[in-house]
Copies of this chain bind each other. A is one copy, B any other.
Amino acid sequence: MKPPNIDIRLRLLHGEHIALGNGKADLLEAIAATGSISQAAKQLGMSYRRAWLLVDTMNQCFVTPLVITQTGGSHGGGTQLTELGVQVLQVFRQMQHAALQATEPFEQQLAQWLVD
């Protein structure tokens, strides 16, 4: 019997907004890796506009921005995570990991009842 998967989606709600979720966390990670919203968007297969809107929502939900774009400088600026952005991403990944570990025994119990 091949192991079934459990798909866990965590969303941190802030009023009517989703301050952070699986997709936004992936976007933060891609921005940190590429140093660019447009490159991060491309990597995740989403439009630049959508990526920008997700970043804007995050930046508005948190006390200080998670992502900043600097202009000028010797490299012509760039986009990066702020200190808070790095922390938020780290805690979200820890939360995902904790959820995965906590659900695993129940998943295995359910899996034994699935058709092979």
Interface on A for B, CB 8 Å cutoff? Answer: 4-14, 18-20, 60-63, 84, 87-88, 91-92, 94-95, 98-99, 101-103, 106-107, 109-111, 113-115
Chain B residues near A106 (CB-CB < 8 A): 91-92, 94-95, 98
In Å, the complex CA distance between A63 and B10 comes to 29
Query: How far apart are the CA atoms of A99 and B91 in the complex, in Å?
Result: 15
Q: A91-B109, A98-B102 are in contact. Are A4 and B13 (CB under 8 A)?
A: yes
Number of copies: 2
B92 touches A110 (CB 8 A): yes
Question: Which of B12, B102, B113 makes the CB contact (< 8 A) with A62?
Answer: B113
Partner of A14, one of B87, B92, B103, B114: B114
Give every chain B residue within 8 A of A63 (Cβ-Cβ).
113-115
Residues of B within 8 A of A7 (CB): 9-13, 18
* Cβ A84 vs Cβ B113 within 8 A: yes
Give 16 pairs: A residue, B residue, CB < 8 Å, sorted on A. A4-B13, A6-B12, A6-B13, A9-B9, A9-B11, A14-B115, A19-B110, A61-B114, A62-B115, A63-B113, A91-B109, A95-B103, A95-B106, A95-B107, A98-B102, A99-B99
